[in-house]
Amino acid sequence: MAQRILEPVDAAGVAAALRAADAEGRSVAVRGAGTKIAPAAADVVVSTTKLTRGLDHVAGDLVATVPAGVSLDSVNDVLRRQRQWLPLDPPRRDRATIGGIVATNDSGPRRHRFGAPRDLIIGIEIALVDGRLAKAGGRVVKNVAGYDLSKLMCGSLGTLAVVTSATFKLSPVAPSSRTLVASLSDLRRLSTLALTLANAPSISPTAIELQSPPYRLLVRFETTESAAAAQTTIAAGLCEQFGASTSVVSGVSEADMWHDHETRIFETAGTVVKIAVLPTDVAEMLSTVERVTASASVESALSGRAALGILFLRLGGHASAHARIVGDLRNAATARGGSVVVVSAASEDVTKAIARWGSVGDAEPVMRAVKARFDPHNILNATLAPWD
């Protein structure tokens, strides 16, 4: 529980709140809409949800500066008036705030084509614990020497500073969309098919999502109607060479299918982990997932960007087995230079039994040094640091 909950309405208010907390030695939890990792108890909660004023869309330059408290869907509702959008599709984007998305570097299936926030951000404004506001990149020239602040803040989880606004490069809204569904009984072979599609020179899918169960790929094409049709045909031919059966969905059915794809992982009870390995190691990791979940008799669901090496696994069933499964998966991923991060846990007991991050290896001294530079008294989201 927090002693105080503060909801500043502008960047100066956020900076003042941080300066006061730092001077008083009070711990601070930074919170947006609460759709991501929940910070532990702190003396003060600084909420960014009232930072909603000042959206600046420069359509001619395909650029927008967005306040941290606005939800992604609300931002895109405005941008689509000019047939543009911020091409991010993380879970719960109807509520997820821009500040939270940047702080977690969160993304969704379209990361395959457009990248994560770190790839799209070109400028940022942050509030520092000493009460200063700093700006970097984009259409401003002031910077903090030695750091690319915009990218540094992506994935920092509010442990270094508070994002008050961010500037992004945008994309035009595609006039047409369709998704090819390719089903195959062999999960390893399906991951190989994902790589084949990703490397095919004649197609440019915006998403290649692996799903299990059932074993299938969702391959999305968003472009002109004729180009989407032509690329879908080419992709279907490649899938059929692998022995996969195919079908095509569009319109309302397509939107519903993608919504179901998201909710099967993030809107269902259980422990959710993010597995990151090289794309060429995905097949082996999938075999490990099947083996350890089967041996524990735990129900599971899996999805992710197979061609990028990013998978999300939801573990159901008895939570008592989750810690062992995560440990086995972490060992397998670490041996390949990858990682397994706990996104959410089924219960408090699971949280206590599983280290959220696992080892960060040789990066820890550098991470500690950066933390000390930005937050010398360790007041900001301190329990989210990967060494805790």
Average pLDDT over residues 73-98: 96
Asked, as a colleague might, if the bond just before 214 is cis with ω within 30 of 0, I would say yes
Do 168 and 181 sit in the same domain of this protein? no
Do 132 and 166 sit in the same domain of this protein? yes
Do 349 and 307 sit in the same domain of this protein? yes
State how far the Cα of 319 lies from the Cα of 296, in Å rounded to an integer.
11
Do 57 and 152 sit in the same domain of this protein? yes
pLDDT reported for residue 53: 94
Average pLDDT over residues 347-352: 80
Which tens digits make up the pLDDT trace of 132-173? Answer: 999 988 764 344 445 688 999 999 999 999 999 999 999 999
Assess if residue 295 is contained within a domain. Answer: yes
Q: pLDDT band for position 227 (50/70/90)?
A: very high
Assess if residue 98 is contained within a domain. Answer: yes
Do 136 and 216 sit in the same domain of this protein? no
| Domain boundary pick from 228, 262, 296 | 262
Reported pTM: 0.92
Assess if residue 104 is contained within a domain. Answer: yes
Percent of the chain predicted with pLDDT > 90: 80
Sequential DSSP letters for 79-145: HGGGTEE-----TTTTT-BHHHHHHHT---TTHHHH--HHHHEEEEEEE-TTS-EEEEETT-----T
Average pLDDT over residues 8-29: 96
Q: Does the pLDDT at position 238 exceed 50?
A: yes
Do 160 and 108 sit in the same domain of this protein? yes
Assess if residue 17 is contained within a domain. Answer: no
Assess if residue 381 is contained within a domain. Answer: no
Do 216 and 303 sit in the same domain of this protein? no
Q: Does the pLDDT at position 330 exceed 50?
A: yes
Range of the domain at 56: 52-172
Do 182 and 156 sit in the same domain of this protein? no
Do 141 and 185 sit in the same domain of this protein? no
Do 247 and 276 sit in the same domain of this protein? no
Task: Encode burial over 271-307: b for 16+ CB neighbours within 10 A, e otherwise.
Answer: bbbebbbebebbbbbbebbeebbeebebebbbbbbbb
DSSP assigned state of 173: P
pLDDT reported for residue 357: 85
Assess if residue 324 is contained within a domain. Answer: yes
Q: Does the pLDDT at position 361 exceed 90?
A: no
Whichever domain contains 235, its CATH number is: 3.30.70.600
Do 136 and 206 sit in the same domain of this protein? no
Q: pLDDT band for position 383 (50/70/90)?
A: confident
Whichever domain contains 303, its CATH number is: 3.30.70.260
DSSP assigned state of 71: B
Which tens digits make up the pLDDT trace of 254-308? Answer: 999 999 999 899 888 899 999 999 999 999 999 999 999 999 999 999 999 999 9
DSSP assigned state of 37: P
pLDDT reported for residue 142: 42
| Domain boundary pick from 172, 191, 212 | 172
Average pLDDT over residues 340-360: 84
Q: Does the pLDDT at position 19 exceed 70?
A: yes
| Domain boundary pick from 156, 172, 188 | 172
Least confident piece of the model among 140-149, 289-298, 352-361, 369-378: 140-149
Least confident piece of the model among 5-19, 279-293, 342-356: 342-356
Assess if residue 14 is contained within a domain. Answer: no
Do 186 and 165 sit in the same domain of this protein? no
φ/ψ of 53, rounded to 5, equals -100, 145
Residue with more model confidence, 366 or 138: 366
Q: Which two tokens stand for residue 168?
A: 């992004």
Assess if residue 189 is contained within a domain. Answer: yes
Q: Which two tokens stand for residue 30?
A: 């930074």
State how far the Cα of 77 lies from the Cα of 171, in Å rounded to an integer.
14
Domain total of the chain: 3
